């Protein structure tokens, strides 16, 4: 059985949890258009999406590794950990992020995911 292809979830203290990493690109319409990298984000939502799509292409082609891009370019402070968010359960993340995270199989990467924070790529790691 290929465990990497299953949608396995961990149960911690009776709650179903997943582990994911992400790369966040904020834009001017983000709920907080600033980050640890930039005091004032000036890119548009379309520009953020273009960046995300380029990162996805670079990862899929093997040109770049997810963790490396997240460390360099993510607007989330999780960049310091290669984008790793650790374990989280339902109700802890914004709904579009949660839905995408729980729908992914371990080892799979999402397409662009839009939340109030910006545009994400999510990698399901556990």
Q: Has residue 10 been placed in a domain?
A: no
Task: Tell me the residue range of the domain where 101 lies.
Answer: 32-124
Q: Reply yes or no on whether the pLDDT at 122 is more than 90.
A: yes
Mean pLDDT of 6-24: 76
**20 catalytic per annotation:** no
38-95 per-position pLDDT tens digit: 899 999 999 999 999 999 999 999 999 999 999 999 999 999 999 999 999 999 999 9
Q: Has residue 17 been placed in a domain?
A: no
Q: Of 27, 74, 76, 101, which is the active-site residue? A: 76
Domain count for the chain: 1
**117 catalytic per annotation:** yes
Question: What pLDDT score does 2 carry?
Answer: 38
Question: What pLDDT score does 36 carry?
Answer: 87
Q: Of 17, 101, 110, 117, which is the active-site residue? A: 117
Q: Reply yes or no on whether the pLDDT at 9 is more than 70.
A: no
Q: How confident is the model at residue 11 (pLDDT cuts 50, 70, 90)?
A: low
Mean pLDDT of 115-125: 98
**78 catalytic per annotation:** no
Q: Has residue 104 been placed in a domain?
A: yes
pTM of the model: 0.88
Q: Has residue 56 been placed in a domain?
A: yes
Q: Has residue 27 been placed in a domain?
A: no
Q: Has residue 6 been placed in a domain?
A: no
Q: Of 20, 21, 22, 101, which is the active-site residue? A: 22
Q: Has residue 3 been placed in a domain?
A: no
For 18, the token pair is 């997943």
Question: What pLDDT score does 50 carry?
Answer: 99
**27 catalytic per annotation:** no
CB–CB of 117/31 below 8 Å? Answer: yes
For 69, the token pair is 């891009």
The C-alpha angle 3, 63, 72, rounded to 5 degrees, equals 90
Q: Has residue 105 been placed in a domain?
A: yes
Read off the CATH number of the domain in which 65 is found.
3.10.50.40
């Amino acid at each position: 059985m290929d465990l990497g292809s299953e949608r396995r979830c961990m149960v911690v203290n009776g709650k179903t949890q997943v582990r994911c990493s992400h790369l966040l690109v904020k834009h001017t319409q983000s709920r907080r258009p600033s980050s640890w990298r930039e005091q004032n984000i000036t890119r548009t939502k379309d520009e953020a999406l273009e960046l995300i799509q380029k990162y996805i292409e670079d990862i899929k082609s093997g040109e770049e590794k997810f963790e490396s891009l997240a460390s360099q370019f993510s607007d989330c402070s999780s960049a310091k950990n290669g984008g790793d968010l650790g374990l989280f359960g339902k109700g802890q993340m914004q709904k579009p992020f949660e839905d995408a995270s729980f729908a992914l199989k371990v080892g799979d990467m999402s397409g662009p995911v839009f939340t109030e924070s910006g545009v994400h790529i999510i990698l399901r790691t556990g």
